[in-house]
Every structure is written in structure tokens, then in C-alpha cells.
Amino acid sequence: MRLIALNGFAGSSAPWRGAVVVRAQAGGVGVLVDPTAALAARLEVEPALRRRAGLDGSARAVVLSAAPLEQVSALIEMRHGAPIELYTSPAVFESLTQSLPVLPRLQPLCPVHWRMVPVAGDRLSASFSIHGGAGLRGTAAASAEPAAGADPAPAPDGEALALAFDDVDSGRRIVWLRRGHRIGAATRGLLHGADAVVVESESDDGPTEPLVRWLASLRAGHKLLLGGRAGLDAPLARLGIARARDGMEIAL
């Protein structure tokens, strides 16, 4: 199983505007998780990068945990490429078709096939198959309700799903948590036994101290932070946390 970090901008000093790709094996189909507009634009003009990430097939697998403007813009950037197999929840799909009606405008340019991730209502978690994903299976978990007395205001990007990807053959698991996700029982179930955990920093300056402490406390063999300044690399490394760099690849 492989985890590939790709930034929207090449170069070690560039700000992080990237995402991750999950592949069951070398040569397998890549699954693009929460792509940014900058990365989607870069993939359109760099065929070698698409090949390396397994995103050069007859269709592209994209998994969205939420529908903030960044992910809406990414789908728009992908309009001239191969058809999109879009994996997301009914709430996110509704947002993309009604609140921000990008999919109806996108369909004439780039066919989008919605693969429902059935997390809705009282159903807090659900598994889903990655069609053509060569041995990958996904699981999504809803964000927890705010604790009693906690600030009920939503995160800037809305409530995001937690996502896990399992290699059916090896049993390895990668978990992705984006900014805005509140960890509840369903998410803790995904994190149990995870081999790699990928977390988004709250800002370009870096993660908050509570996030760093929590990430350092996990037993996963690989802990990857998306975002933050290069100057954080050394102190994070001492805690067993790596900051994502463009092109970084982790084999599990």
C-alpha cells in the first residue's frame, strides 16, 4: 500500500496547497483524496505526475470528505480530463448539486459518476468499495457532535468526514482527518490499528499544540501533517511526526 503526498506547487519552500493519493500497490489505480484546486491544475499539465500517482487511467477516483470552496474549485479544474468517479456522502453531493451547483455545470464537460458513501442521519460510519481500485476499500466516519458546553459553531470548512483506506490483501490502513473534523467514537474506531494517519494543519503557520500532542500520542507507524512551516520539521520529527513534502511517498 502506498501513500503519496503531492503539493499544488513544486519546490520545497512553496506553501502547502496539496493532497494525498492512496494506492493499494505500485502500479495500481490511485485514489485522489480531497484535492485542492492548485493540485488539480498541476495534474492536468503534468502527465508524468499523473502516471506516478496512478491517475492516468480512463477514469479518475476522487474522494471528498467535505465540500469547501477549495474542493469545489478542484473539481472545476478537472473538467477537461478523464471522467470522475466521485465518492462522497449524500450531504456533500447535495451541496455540490444544489448549494454550490458545480456538478450540473461540470457534467457536459467531464462526466461525473457519484459513488455514494452512505453516511447520513443516524448512520455514523459506512464502508464503500473503490471501483477499479485494485484491492482498496474505504470507510467514512461522521464528525462527532460538540460536547456539552463546547462551542457549537461549525469549523470554517464545515463538518468533514474522517476517511480510512484499507488494503484488502495486506490489511494495512491509512486514515485521513481534515481540518474541521471532530473526533468521536466512529472516528476512534477508524484510528484503532491504523498504520498511517494523515492530518491537516489548522493553518499555514502550523498546527496547534493540542493537535501536535494528540498526533504524537497515536501508535501509528507513520504520522503525516499536511501544512505548516519548514522550520517545524525538526521539532515534529522528534515527536515521530513528518511534515508532508511534495512527492513524499510512504510504502506500507
- What mean pLDDT is reported for the chain? 90
What is the pLDDT averaged over residues 123-136? 87
Q: How far apart are CA 51 and CA 226, in angstroms?
A: 22
Task: Please give the helix or strand (H or E) that residue 137 lies within, else none.
Answer: strand 136-141
What is the pLDDT averaged over residues 235-244? 96
Q: DSSP for 188-222?
A: HHHHTT-SEEEEE-SSSS---HHHHHHHHH---SE
Identity of the residue numbered 82:
A
Identity of the residue numbered 7:
N
Per-residue pLDDT band at 235 (split at 50, 70, 90):
very high
In this prediction, residue 150 carries a pLDDT of 45
pTM: 0.93
The answer on pLDDT for 33 being more than 90 is yes
User: What number of residues does the chain have?
Assistant: 252
In this prediction, residue 238 carries a pLDDT of 97
CA 80, 104, 19: angle at the middle one, nearest 5? 55
Per-residue pLDDT band at 22 (split at 50, 70, 90):
very high
Per-residue pLDDT band at 147 (split at 50, 70, 90):
low
Burial 9-31 (b: 16+ CB within 10 A, else e): eeeeeeebbbbbbbbbbeebbbb
The answer on pLDDT for 81 being more than 80 is yes
Residue 79 phi, psi (nearest 5): -70, -20
Cell matching residue 183 = 473526533
